[in-house]
């Protein structure tokens, strides 16, 4: 029931009670809740609509199809950080690993204290979390879906006495196809594509793919309309004009494109904070090579995390990606790259997530693209290096014969006794190879309109009928996967809208 560009003849003029821009974790969730609450909803997605039957193991094709700009997006800085976003119905939930963690209570308390946000006590947000978890079927993995690579991560951590946690994922008896990041081919992962978007449609929401919003037109503190384009799918060229009029508007374009749209429209930035405060949980990749035949492509993308060091802002996990992506992202070239790929059957790919104190910014460039910058500070660089050391230790404890690092020097380690080389090399921020899938904070919420963009329920301080429902509203990083937090806040905002707020 999603309307795509090839089904649209001529210019598209829409009216509704609410227009939601973006169909990912925040947009699909709030559209569903509002439609089920009786409002007429239009849900717009810039990317295409690709049902489950479309997803295959052809990784390059899936990246070109589902990822913004083919996955080639980068936050520039002293340590540039590659990041990826979904651009398709379901947004980044279609291409993420599906990890579902409730916002840590210490983070909610911090938001209440520092940002003045009310009603974040566990007893107040608990029902919203529970509702989200029921909608997307949050559960632990069935034992048969867990691969040997994940078992080795747990084995190494347990031998060292480190605390591990079973991941809670939005999945209904996932079979462990390990294609999460390129579209689940079975529908087992309950992304917004197969959960919230169908709910919204059943409740009467009209969902449009291939529709990009270019401008918010506001006057006297209210949005009057949205202007944009219907895009021809293959070329991304403008096919027709798009105009939407509604009583309320919700931006759920993510932490880059929500502020970018506001900035280029000159809307909602009296505080000067739109686009600032970018946080992104920088990640470092570490590869362990084992003597046994691991077959890392078998089993779910990620079934456990090591939470021993969360208090330090360090989370350890694993998540295999296909050899073509590994080779592309490796510092090894020529024969060295070939030798590394020959070991792929024996490889465990791990990642270090850093709860960052560094900050970045999104700016609107005059020629139609956002400029994303991020300045990794020395403290976060040290956390990333410590995380790489800890993950190396876990791999060696599990039986790895060598560990391959994302640094020019040291390039690899042969035993736990060599981990000290990481510190002897005196690595700095510019020596790190970083990536992320968690971008947050660029339209942060807070009680003070001078220092925040939206209030505690996502409503713009400046524009009465404009809301934001995505990770850009986070006042601080949260240290864990953000999807469930985004959905909880979106559900909470939907309730406030339905109650007239």
Q: What is the CATH number of the domain that holds 217?
A: 3.50.50.60
Determine the structural domain holding residue 484 and report its residue range.
Answer: 5-50+101-135+193-277+442-498
Contact in structure between 240 and 230 (CB atoms under 8 Å): yes
Contact in structure between 258 and 453 (CB atoms under 8 Å): no
Residue 57 domain-assigned (yes or no): no
Q: Is residue 375 flagged as an active site residue?
A: no
What does the angle CA 240 – CA 246 – CA 247 come to, to the nearest 5 degrees? Answer: 170
Q: What's the confidence (pLDDT) of residue 98?
A: 96
223 and 163 in a common domain: no
Per-residue three-class SS string for 326-346: HHHCCCCCCHHHHHHHHCHHH
In angstroms, rounded to a whole number, what is the distance separating the alpha carbons of residues 485 and 487?
5
417 and 300 in a common domain: yes
205 and 172 in a common domain: no
* Domain boundary residue, one of 407, 436, 465: 436
* Domain boundary residue, one of 403, 436, 469: 436
| Residue 434 to residues 275, 298, 413, Cα–Cα distance (Å) | 21, 26, 19
Residue 86 domain-assigned (yes or no): no
* Domain boundary residue, one of 436, 451, 472: 436
359 and 485 in a common domain: no
212 and 286 in a common domain: no
Cis peptide before 460 (omega within 30 of 0): no
289 and 169 in a common domain: yes
Three-state secondary structure call for residue 353: strand
Q: How many other C-beta atoms can be found within 10 angstroms of the C-beta atom of residue 421?
A: 18
Contact in structure between 191 and 93 (CB atoms under 8 Å): yes
In angstroms, rounded to a whole number, what is the distance separating the alpha carbons of residues 472 and 5?
28
Please give the sequence-ordered ranges of beta strands (E in DSSP) within 301-381, or none if there are none: 304-306, 314-318, 347-354, 359-364, 370-375
Q: What's the confidence (pLDDT) of residue 273?
A: 98
Contact in structure between 439 and 254 (CB atoms under 8 Å): yes
88 bridge partner residues: 48
Q: What's the confidence (pLDDT) of residue 330?
A: 67
240 and 121 in a common domain: yes
Q: What's the confidence (pLDDT) of residue 41?
A: 98
In angstroms, rounded to a whole number, what is the distance separating the alpha carbons of residues 110 and 120?
10
- Of the candidates 301, 304, 438, 461, the residue annotated as catalytic is 438
Residue 454 domain-assigned (yes or no): yes
Q: Is 368 exposed, middle or buried (0-12, 13-18, 19+ CB in 10 A)?
A: exposed
Q: How many residues does the chain have?
A: 501
Contact in structure between 228 and 211 (CB atoms under 8 Å): yes
Which residue, among 147, 145, 144, 148, has the nearest Cα to 400 in the 3D structure? 148
Number of domains in the chain: 2
Give the CATH number for residue 423.
Answer: 3.30.410
350 bridge partner residues: 286, 318
Residue 70 domain-assigned (yes or no): no
Q: What is the mean pLDDT of each run of 10 residues along the chain (501 residues)?
A: 95 98 98 98 98 94 95 93 97 97 97 97 97 98 94 98 97 93 96 98 98 97 98 94 98 98 98 98 96 94 96 94 75 72 91 97 91 97 97 98 91 96 93 94 98 98 98 97 98 97 82
In angstroms, rounded to a whole number, what is the distance separating the alpha carbons of residues 282 and 261?
24
Residue 21 structure tokens? 């821009």
243 and 118 in a common domain: yes
127 and 37 in a common domain: yes
What one-character-per-residue DSSP string does 155-222 give?
HHHHHTT--EEEPEEEBSS----S-GGG--SSS-B--TTTTHHHHHHHTT-EEESSEEEEEEEEETTE
350 and 374 in a common domain: yes
Residue 21 domain-assigned (yes or no): yes
Q: How many other C-beta atoms can be found within 10 angstroms of the C-beta atom of residue 33?
A: 29
What DSSP element (H or E) covers 413? strand 412-413
Residue 66 domain-assigned (yes or no): no
What does the angle CA 31 – CA 26 – CA 493 come to, to the nearest 5 degrees? Answer: 70
Residue 59 domain-assigned (yes or no): no
Residue identified by tokens 């990826």 is 84
pLDDT in tens, 227-270: 999 999 999 999 999 999 999 999 999 999 999 999 999 999 99
pLDDT in tens, 429-473: 999 999 999 999 999 999 999 999 999 999 999 999 999 999 999
């Amino acid at each position: 029931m999603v309307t795509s560009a090839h089904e649209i003849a001529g210019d598209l003029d829409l009216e509704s009670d609410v227009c939601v821009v973006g169909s990912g974790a925040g947009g699909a969730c709030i559209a569903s809740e509002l439609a089920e609450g009786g409002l007429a909803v239009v849900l717009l997605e810039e990317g295409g609509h690709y049902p489950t039957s479309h997803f295959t193991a052809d990784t390059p094709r899936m990246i070109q199809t589902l990822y913004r700009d083919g996955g080639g997006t980068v936050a520039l800085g002293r340590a540039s950080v590659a990041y990826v976003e979904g651009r398709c119905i379901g947004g980044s939930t279609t291409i993420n690993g599906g990890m579902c963690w409730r916002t840590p209570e210490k983070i909610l308390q911090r938001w209440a204290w520092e940002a003045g946000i009310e009603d974040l006590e566990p007893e107040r947000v608990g029902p919203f979390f529970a509702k989200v978890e029921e909608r997307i079927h949050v559960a632990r993995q069935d034992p048969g879906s867990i691969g040997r690579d994940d078992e080795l991560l747990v084995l190494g951590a347990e031998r060292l006495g480190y605390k591990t946690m079973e991941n809670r994922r939005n999945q209904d008896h996932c079979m462990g196809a390990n294609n999460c990041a390129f579209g689940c081919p079975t529908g087992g992962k309950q992304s917004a594509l197969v959960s919230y978007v169908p709910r919204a449609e059943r409740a009467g929401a009209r969902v449009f793919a291939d529709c990009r919003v270019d401008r918010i037109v506001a006057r006297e503190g209210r949005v009057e309309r949205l202007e944009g384009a219907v895009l021809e799918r293959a070329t991304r060229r403008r096919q027709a004009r798009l105009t939407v009029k509604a009583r309320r508007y919700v931006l759920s374009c993510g932490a880059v494109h929500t502020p970018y749209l506001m900035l280029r429209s000159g809307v909602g930035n009296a505080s000067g904070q739109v686009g600032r405060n970018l946080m992104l949980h920088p990640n470092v990749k570490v590869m362990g090579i084992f003597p046994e035949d691991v077959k890392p492509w078998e089993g779910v993308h990620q079934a456990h995390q090591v939470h021993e060091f969360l208090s330090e802002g360090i989370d350890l996990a694993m998540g295999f990606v296909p050899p073509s992506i590994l080779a592309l992202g490796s510092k090894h070239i020529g024969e060295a790259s070939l030798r590394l790929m020959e070991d792929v059957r024996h490889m465990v790919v791990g990642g270090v997530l850093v709860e960052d104190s560094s900050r970045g910014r999104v700016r609107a460039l005059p020629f139609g693209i956002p400029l994303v910058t991020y300045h990794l500070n020395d403290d976060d660089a040290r956390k990333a290096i410590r995380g790489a050391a800890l993950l190396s230790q876990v791999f060696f404890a599990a039986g790895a014969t060598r560990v391959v690092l994302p640094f020019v020097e040291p390039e690899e380690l042969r035993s736990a006794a060599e981990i000290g080389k990481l510190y002897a090399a005196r690595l700095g921020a510019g020596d790190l190879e970083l990536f992320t899938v968690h971008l947050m904070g660029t339209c942060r919420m807070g009680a003070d309109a001078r220092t925040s963009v939206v209030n505690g329920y996502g409503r713009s301080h400046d524009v009465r009928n404009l809301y934001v429902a995505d990770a850009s509203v986070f006042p601080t990083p949260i240290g864990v996967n953000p999807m469930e937090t985004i959905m909880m806040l979106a559900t909470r905002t939907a309730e406030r809208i339905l109650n007239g707020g």
